[in-house]
Structure 1
Amino acid sequence: MANRKNLAKHDLPQFYLLVALYFLQGIPVGLAFGTIPFLLKSMAKETSFTTLGIFSIATYPYSLKILWSPIVDSIYDSKIGRRRSWIIPIQLLSGSMLFILGCAISNNLVFKGVDDAFYGRHTNGLHNLNILTLAWYFGFLVFLCATQDIAVDGWALTILSIQSLSYASTAQTLGINFGYFLSFTIFISLNSSDFANKYFRSQPLDYGFVSLGGYMKFAGILYILATVYVIMFTKERPLDDVLPRLGPSAAKKYDESKLVAEYPDGDSIGTSNKASIKYTYKCFARILKLKSVQSLVIIHLTSKVAFQCNEAATNLKLLERGFKKEDLAVTVLIDVPFEVIFGYYVAKWSSESNHHLHPSRPVLSRTNNWTKILVGDRGILTPWLWGFLGRLVAAALGSYVLSIFPKNNQLTKPFFLLVIIQHLLGSFMSTVQFVGITAFHTRVADPVIGGTYMTLLNTLSNFGGTWPRLLIMSMINYFTVYECYIPSANQSITYQGGSMEKCTEGLDGKISILTDGYYITNGVCVIFGLVLYFGFLKKKAQQLQTIPVDSWRCS
């Protein structure tokens, strides 16, 4: 048997194509999940966390794509290809949407005020921003991105040979992460006038290197060029040409309605390609009835609650406290090379676990007592378990970082280094979890309905990080108690929750936070995570990684 640790050379072109397609997907994700909330908070520090939570509705399509994935999986033109039939038009529409929305932002028609400095305008339009309208625009963009993801996930299961299949998760990790960091980390740095003035300019200016509208127009052109490449230089093989050849035992089981293909590790799956929507939804219903999938549903919908406060609010709270945009830009920019390097090795670690640790039987390897207590026996989900614990530590460290924030806003090098460490730890452990669970999804998904199955599992994972966002942001707002001092009346009013804008704009007052709801909310999240992990997640993950692959099949 060939060495399956490494990516096969004949799969390199397909692997690079997957990286490029996932990279495109990461561009709108970075904008909606990271950049827009950052800009809203940095342009107006009094922007409430409830408002930011409302904008998070724009990310919901990415977590609800399972509702239309069977349609994407079932309707296609056989001449164009099952996946290319969707990838090509969706990417062209996404590119056009990015370009048009970029033009609208540049002309101050959408997200008024965000690019004012680049065009010498002084409209002060941010205070008149309709957050629901902005959420709708970016929500539609995320919807297109989610639809593209369905098709690419399905193609990933057939575009690579069996020996390289687990590297689909590597391609996804590298592509989406780089697209996300380009749209969030790198863009925020290049958009910041403070960053450009401090590190590159001798004469300060009021704007950075790249405007939001200009970046979105560039991204739109990039989308269209990549789609032209897919049209001109790629072909899609039928499913039966990609799956393993039928062996002797399979021949004995031959049935016109269903062929059985056997993998080298002993798994056998059906390979008939039913293209009807009815069949796909039927399989979808079967998937949800599987006990293994139901257990995974519970894990995905609960596990990310523990990190939501830290990952959604810590950087925004730093900005609110007075952390300079250029310093935060440097902090997140440092993250890029680490993420690329770490992402590759974590993916390789997870891929090797995927190859050597067969999920149909327990793996009892030598582990020390602490490892046994923390993550149990080594298995396919071991990286995911380590990632969970690491993200808990990062969340707790986030509260500590904010608690020691210098009152005089004079940042010391040790403090700045601590901010970098906290950010890198959370980001790295998030990558560990993402790669680990994606490799597991790839391993158990049924290729016959690959797009639907992968989309279901990935959707559950994404939704687990999306649904708590509005709740967590509202909790931060609710538990925050602040004092509004009105100089003209020499009067102080105490508020619990609510928008701080009514103090700064309506009453022309000054805000002093008495109780920061961030600490309460983050503490609740971390405690919940600890109880959930040692009371349920670790044990259930140990069980899931030992379940035979047949238990995950619906065909």
Structure 2
Amino acid sequence: MSKRGRKSKRRMSRAPLRHRQDQAPEDAAMSDLESNNDDEEGSPRLRDDFWSILILLFLYILQGIPIGLTASVPMILQARKVSYGNQALFSMATWPFSMKLLWAPLVDALYIKDFGRRKTWVIPTQYLIGAFMLIFSQYSDVLLEGNEEPNVHVLTIIFFCLFFLTATQDIAVDGWALTMLSKRNVGYQSTCNSVGQTIGYFLAYVIFLALESPHFCNKYLRSEPTSKGLVTLSDFMFFWGVVFVATTTLLWAFKREKPTARSTDDTVSPLLVYKQSLDMLRRPVIRDYFIVILTSRIAFAGVDALTGLKLVEAGVPKENLGLLAVPVIPVQIVLPIVVARYTSGSRPMSAYLRAYPVRMGFGLLLPAFVAWSRRFDEYPLHFYVLAAVIYIAYSIPCTTQFVANMAFNARIADPAIGATYMTFCNTVNNVATTWPNTLALALVEKFTWKYCDGGGALDGATCVASEAEKECLAAGGSCLTHVDGYYVEVGLCLCVGLAWLSWMGRKMKRLQELDLSEWKLN
């Protein structure tokens, strides 16, 4: 063997196993064409895509703003004593992220060649989000206050539309990431997603709840108390509407999109992309993966959907609860970067499975903490310190699972229909969280036993519904809880989680060991 041949062989032997599994030699040319022509898969190298990573990070920060706002509204509604049935109704505002597969093929297939395959959707969608927030800012406070109680139905419709636009932006950005980043750095897409959404969520959830609270502003930010916070929902949405419009204009003007193999052809028929989406479902390996993911979050539904609301119900101020996320944010920003070292390889879901029983353990700890919180009239400093420690600890398995799942989706995605494939997988991830949480909110009152104590003729009557509780209080009685459905639901979810880990966990291990060609459509 020649000296040059020996060097070539040594270089191949040092190449990651993942590269050898990705493609057969005859498919290499097509794969390179669909990615970046001069990219070679290998160890991630941040400096190659530094500016692209920053742009992706900013796009995901913008995406986190509507997500954070939608998370803050239930805390405001809970402080206004709305029923858990209305909370379940409002939770449906987040469902567009779980339905975006319905229009993802259109985003993947229809575009203006001269404008750019992904910019065709990113730019107008972000302009619409900005305009929507500017218009809604004129009416949001009235809807939130209402005559007697918040207008939950109208709020649900409005935030559903806002989430629809955000979900459409997410489809295009997920697809853009596959070509904006070089092949060796595509694993950073999940890091940008996690870090960016966390920052946006922090701004729209923690900061907004603090500045919206009269109690917090009077105590820490004002010399003379007033009845309102420094910022209302209208003010906050108006500000971010302006930010969306301004930054989208800069993105349009200065960021060029790399051409892909398909952007030089005529527009691909959406019907073809829908057919390819159906082809995905026909592949047994993809169906098995989706079943595993769709059932994976049931174990955490009771804790994730209800713990925060139960703490507010117990008397913890919503703005203080929001501020507990402050020490969690640095962990959620740094942890994806650390976890990326273990999820950018060939077995990202191993980290997911290792975090699963750890996260289940909090299904015992958090309900105990909620029960303990009911003992206080005024919450001392050590209560918030302990709460912060628990929240930080809980964020570790949650973030690990999120990054691992996103990395696995990026790894198995077929670049031929990149946006649809990524969106299909990420949509299933969102559905896996949304449907158990909505169901947990809707059923919690079914598992709750509350009776009116006193109240004359209403003595002994059930008062689970918010209207019945108001009638009991108006009659001079008090509504006593004998069995809290929160604890019943958490227990049931943990039982399901143990069964999932025993059965579906083994299936997930087998799926990630498959050759990457098994996940491709062709």
- TM class by shorter-chain length? 0.7 to 0.9
Question: 1:55 corresponds to which letter in structure 2?
Answer: F
Is the aligned partner of 1:299 residue 2:292?
yes
In 2, Cα distance between equivalents of 1:485 and 1:141: 43
Q: Distance in 2 between matches of 1:415 and 1:492?
A: 35
Alignment of 1:141-540 (within 5 A): 141-240=162-261, 275-351=268-344, 354=345, 357=346, 379-485=347-453, 487=455, 489=456, 492-495=459-462, 497=464, 499-504=465-470, 508=474, 509-534=477-502, 536-540=503-507
Q: Paired residue for 2:33? A: none
Q: Is the 8 A contact 1:273 1:448 kept in 2?
A: no
Task: Sort the Cα spacing of 1:496 and 1:464 in 2 relative to 1 into closer, same or farther, 3 A.
Answer: farther
Equivalent residue, structure 2, for 1:545: 512
Residue type at the aligned position of 1:401: F
Match of 1:39 in 2: 76
8 A contact 1:189–1:333 mirrored in 2: no
Question: Unpaired runs of 5+ in structure 2?
Answer: 1-10, 12-39
TM-score (normalised: structure 2): 0.87
* CA distance 1:391–1:494, shift in 2 (3 Å): farther
In the alignment, the residues of structure 1 paired with residue 114 and residue 405 of structure 2 have an alpha-carbon distance, to the nearest angstrom, of: 34
Separation in 2, partners of 1:316, 1:285: 39
**1:464-510 residue CA offsets vs partner (Å, 9 max, x unmatched):** 111122321122111111122455x375233164x223322576143
Residue 27 of structure 1: aligned partner: 65
Deviations 1:88-132 (A, max 9, x none): 1111011100111112124x2x32x2xxxxxxxxxxx26343322
Q: Once the two structures are superposed, what CA deviation does each residue of 1:498-549 show, in whole Å capped at 9, x if it has no partner?
A: x223322576143222211100011111121112112x23201211110111
Q: Secondary structure at the match of 1:436?
A: helix
Measure how far apart 1:225 and its partner are. Answer: 1.4
Amino acid at match of 1:542: K
SS in 1 for 2:114: coil
- Distance (Å, rounded) in 2 between the aligned partners of 1:173 and 1:325: 24
Once superposed, what is the RMSD of the aligned Cα atoms?
Answer: 2.2
Compute the displacement of 1:238 (Å).
1.7
Following superposition, the deviation at residue 227 of structure 1 comes to 0.9
Correspondence 1:69-108 to 2 at 5 A:
69-106=104-141, 108=142
CA change 1:348–1:274 in 2 (3 A) is farther
2:159 matched residue in structure 1: 138
Tell me by how many angstroms 1:3 deviates.
9.4
TM-aligned CA distance change 1:427 to 1:186, over 3 Å: farther
Q: Is the 8 A contact 2:100 2:423 kept in 1?
A: yes
Q: What number of residue pairs does the alignment pair up? A: 482
| Cα distance per residue 1:55-81 (max 9 Å; x no partner) | 111111110100110011101100001
Quote the sequence identity (%).
33
Who is 1:49 aligned against? 84
Q: Residues of 2 paired with 1:213 and 1:226: CA distance?
A: 20
Q: Matches of 1:491 and 1:221 in 2, distance apart?
A: 52
In the TM superposition, residue 314 of structure 1 has moved relative to its aligned partner by 0.5
Q: How far is 1:21 from its partner? A: 1.0
Decide whether the 8 Å contact of 2:356 with 2:397 is kept in 1.
yes
* Partner Cα separation in structure 1 for residue 157 and residue 68 of structure 2: 16
| TM-aligned CA distance change 1:386 to 1:211, over 3 Å | farther
- Report deviation, 1:202: 4.1
Compute the displacement of 1:230 (Å): 1.5
User: Contact conserved, 2:307 with 2:366, CA < 8 A, in 1?
Assistant: yes
Asked if the contact 1:195–1:325 (Cα under 8 Å) also holds between the matched residues in 2, the reply is no
Structure 1: distance between partners of 2:400 and 2:54: 21
Cross-structure match for 1:259:
none
Q: Counting helix residues as a fraction of each chain, which structure ranks higher? A: 2
